[in-house]
Every structure is written in C-alpha cells, then in structure tokens.
Amino acid sequence: MGNAYNVMAATCPSRTVLHRIGARWTVFIVNALDNRPMRFTELKAHIRGITPKALTEALRAMEYDGLISRTEIPASPPHVEYALTDLGRSLLTPLRAIREWAESHVPDIERARARADAQR
Amino acid sequence: MGNAYNVMAATCPSRTVLHRIGARWTVFIVNALDNRPMRFTELKAHIRGITPKALTEALRAMEYDGLISRTEIPASPPHVEYALTDLGRSLLTPLRAIREWAESHVPDIERARARADAQR
DNA sequence: CCCGGACGGTATAGATTCGATACCGGTATC
DNA sequence: GATACCGGTATCGAATCTATACCGTCCGGG
C-alpha cells in the first residue's frame, strides 16, 4: 500500500519528523541508549564533545516526540534516567545502519576529499 | 572484526562523515537520485521547498565527499547532470530506510507531540 | 537582429541555531 | 561546615540556514 506521506512535499508533516531524526545529536543519543537506560552525566560522558546545553535540548526534543522517556528516580540520591521508548527503539535499526555506514566509509570519504583538494 | 572508527569519540573522523550524512538536504538528494541522474532544476522541482543556494551548497559538499558526480554535458543546449557515485549508491539503502521511517511514523510522532502539549 | 525564456546558478540580508564557557541549586558524604 | 557530584541554566558570539532578488549564458522564434 502506498504511503500517505511524502518527504519530498514541502509541507508534508514527515518533513518535521525527518528534521528531528537528522538533528545534530539524535543519532548519537539513540545509539547510546541502545541496550540500557542512561543518566544525564553518563550520556554526556559517552557522547564525547557534546555540551550540556546541546544534550538538554536534544533530550527535551526527543522526549517531546516520544522517542525517549525521562524518569526521575526518587532514590537516595535521586537521579534521572533516560530510556528509549518503543518508538525510539524502532529507530534503532535505521540509525545504527547510518552510524555503521559512517564508521566504515571514512577512508572512502577521505580519499574523495583528498582527490578533490588535489584537483585544485 | 572491530571497527577502527567510533562516532562517540569527539575527534574521530567518522564524526565529520556522520555530519555530512545528517546535513539538512543529503537524505533528500540521495533519495531523489535513486534511479536516475537529474539536472539542477529538476532536483529543485523534485525536492519541494529547497532554495537554489541550499541545493548548490549541498551538491558541492556531496561532490566533494565523492557521494555524487557533477557532469557538464556539452550537448545543445548544454546542461548539467548530477548522479550518485558508487559510494553514494551505497548510502541509498540506509537513507531510504530513514525516509521510510519518517514517512511511516508521522502519526506516532504527532500523537506524542499532542500528548506532550496537552500535559501543559 | 532582437526578445524572451530556460538553465544553473550568486548575492545579500535577516533569522535561527550552535557551541564555548561560566555558573547554580539540591543532595550526600566526609 | 566544606566539598563533590548531579542535572541542568544563562549568556554571548560565531556559524548556519532561509528568503528573496538578481545574473550571465545559451537557445529558438519572429
């Protein structure tokens, strides 16, 4: 059956969805939460180079879209846990594929860039 | 075998690769060039809402990275054709998956957003 | 020869987002 | 009481993206 949505259409709602998936840190967060929930500082340590502001914004946005859940745990000391929702977990396969493509094609891209640089 | 690259490392070159894949228009362009080369204006018409500047920049960047090729065809009238390279074609499968995820999960995301909005 | 249109872009300005850095309130531990 | 960790905010300047207007080349028609 055909799909009701088409990202190529300027005003299609799938555009905003795609925009969120493609946002700077989404792929990192989904991959990081792959096999267990994590706390804020844990995520920050795991995803090297992310600033707390960027992490906060990404987590809030993903929570808003139902990709992750934020749970305050009233233990002592209290802390916060972020976890993938079912919806977020369904993103895991495609985003893991993206991550793997990136990691496995670094030499190809670097070769292409070097060739392009040399051409001038 | 383990991978030599890891996107979670702050300075890993795979970061720049991932950044390019995740750039605003890459997924659109790769999907558009799926089964045939296209000309500039054709791409612009196909990817609704993209500005010529954004398209130019995205195409240049993707050419630099070896994902697409740009060919000036000296016919009459002369024109320009953009096509996926082998490397670009290898991105097709993961990026098509992303597109399909976006198109098929619109209702889920919209429900989540509505629920979050209602909560306040 | 001149006009108009299609093609493949540039130029410029404004809005938006991003990153770096510093700071902060609450809780627990020493 | 001092110190440290957690989960963030605040602020500001730099980089990026969008909208809009414009442009040179080539071509076909009149």
| Average pLDDT for chain A | 95
Spatial CB neighbours of B18, under 8 Å, sequence gap ≥ 6:
A27, A98, A99, A102, B7
Mean pLDDT of chain B: 95
Report pLDDT for B1: 60
A49 touches strand C (CB under 7 A): yes
Confidence of residue B21 (pLDDT cuts 50, 70, 90): very high
Residue B66 to residue A17, Cβ atoms within 8 A: no
Interface of A with B in 48-77 (CB under 8 A): 48-49, 63-67
CB contacts of A1 in chain B (<8 Å) are none
Residue-wise pLDDT tens digits, B43-59: 999 999 999 999 999 99
Q: Is the pLDDT of residue A102 over 80?
A: yes
Cα distance between residue B23 and residue B17, in whole Å: 10
Confidence of residue A69 (pLDDT cuts 50, 70, 90): very high
> Would you kindly state where each structural domain of chain B is located, as residue ranges?
14-118
Tell the residue number behind the tokens 């894949």, with chain if given.
B21
Task: Read off the amino acid at residue A71.
Answer: T
Give the span between the Cα atoms of B44 and A65, in whole angstroms. 29
First to last CA, chain A: 49
How many other CB atoms are there within 10 angstroms of residue B41's CB atom? 12
Taking alpha carbons only, the member of A105, A11, A25, A118 closest to residue A67 is A25
Strand D nucleotides, any atom under 7 Å to a protein CB: 5-11, 17-21, 26-28
Q: How far is CA B76 from the centre of its chain?
A: 30
pLDDT of residue A84: 98
Q: Give the per-residue pLDDT at B117.
A: 93
CA B29 to chain centre: 5
What CATH number labels A14-118?
1.10.10.10
